[in-house]
Amino acid sequence: MFAAAAAAGAELLRHAPNSGKGFALKAAFRYVAEHHPGRAVVCADADGQHAVADVLRVAARIRETDAMVLGGRRFTGHVPWRSRLGNTTTRFLVRLVTGLDVHDTQTGLRGYPPSMLEWLVGVRGDRFEYELRLLLEAGPAGYRVEELEIETIYLEDNTSSHFRPVVDSMRVLMPLLWFAASSLTAFVVDTTALLVLVPVTGSLLAGVVGARLVSASANLALNRHITFRPARGAPLLGVVLRYAALAVVLLGASYASLSLLTWIGVPLLVAKVGSDTGLFLVSYRVQRSVVFRDYRAVLGTGQASPVESRRTSAHDSSPTAPTASQGCTGANHWIAPV
């Protein structure tokens, strides 16, 4: 198939040994950026599951919106159980973690504007999880994501899929799990300090403020270095100021809810648990999208991963020649500059 594509005029990139789908995609993104600058990119699976008409619609939409465009299936009619389970699970998790509501998180038909290419090659991941990570990190990096409905086509019950429901779903959930672990650590510190400070000071306000100062310092350090790692290189002062502003808002919300709950007779510990649970997802979304936003994309200083590629066949070097980037059997992609 790829030999025929090269003979027809495609530019073919090969990687030996098998380096993974993400590696192959990033090699193609870098190649397009270097050899066809200013061109958007459309990626499509090479197994016949994407109609040509849908590929062209995605290309046209990129030009109109300058956003990441997903060709999303609606999973109607006969859908292999593995595909339905995998997509339902990841769709829920992606929405939980990012707030992004897309129908098809596993689609291989995706379009990227030229402004995204430098950022794309800097996103971590060399295998199947790479495309999931793009959905998770696009928002914090300042990129919009849109979805176009496309035809649902499955060949041989989708046996070529490399999606692993449990493993890859856990990869999607990991940022939220790290945040939960960080928040749990801060919660334990905060609650312990609160239970000590309220009796000592005789003031709920003093107890809440003192406990939050201690726990916030621990939470900031954990989130900056572990949960939201792309922000580690951001200026510390800016991160601290944004985090402090969020902390003030959350502090006010926490104090208001604790005052109300304890006033109506709810025990302090129970009120604390209920209040912080309600603020958990709000805090995650704001920290992810504002406080620890990926500064590399914002400043245009994304660093490419060390991807090596080799142009082994280039019978047509025109700007419209498709690029086939072959990373591993069953995960081959057409990459077309548009």
Q: Give the domain range for residue 15.
A: 2-171+300-337
Whether residue 212 sits in one domain with residue 104: no
Whether residue 109 sits in one domain with residue 213: no
Whether residue 142 sits in one domain with residue 48: yes
278 close to 257: Cβ distance less than 8 angstroms: yes
Separation CA 108–CA 120 (nearest Å): 15
With a cut of 60, say whether residue 296 has pLDDT above it: no
* Total of domains in the chain: 2
With a cut of 60, say whether residue 160 has pLDDT above it: no
Give the confidence band of 89 by pLDDT, cuts at 50, 70, 90.
confident
Helix/strand number for the chain, H first, E second: 11, 8
Whether residue 328 sits in one domain with residue 263: no
Whether residue 154 sits in one domain with residue 270: no
With a cut of 70, say whether residue 199 has pLDDT above it: yes
303 close to 230: Cβ distance less than 8 angstroms: no
pTM of the model: 0.65
Whether residue 209 sits in one domain with residue 90: no
Whether residue 166 sits in one domain with residue 137: yes
Whether residue 56 sits in one domain with residue 130: yes
Whether residue 127 sits in one domain with residue 16: yes
Task: List all residues 6 or more positions away from 198 whose beta carbon is below 8 Å from its beta carbon.
Answer: 204, 206, 207, 268
pLDDT at residue 111, as a whole number = 94
Whether residue 177 sits in one domain with residue 165: no
Whether residue 144 sits in one domain with residue 53: yes
Whether residue 141 sits in one domain with residue 179: no
State the maximum Cα–Cα separation within the chain, in Å, rounded to a whole number: 81
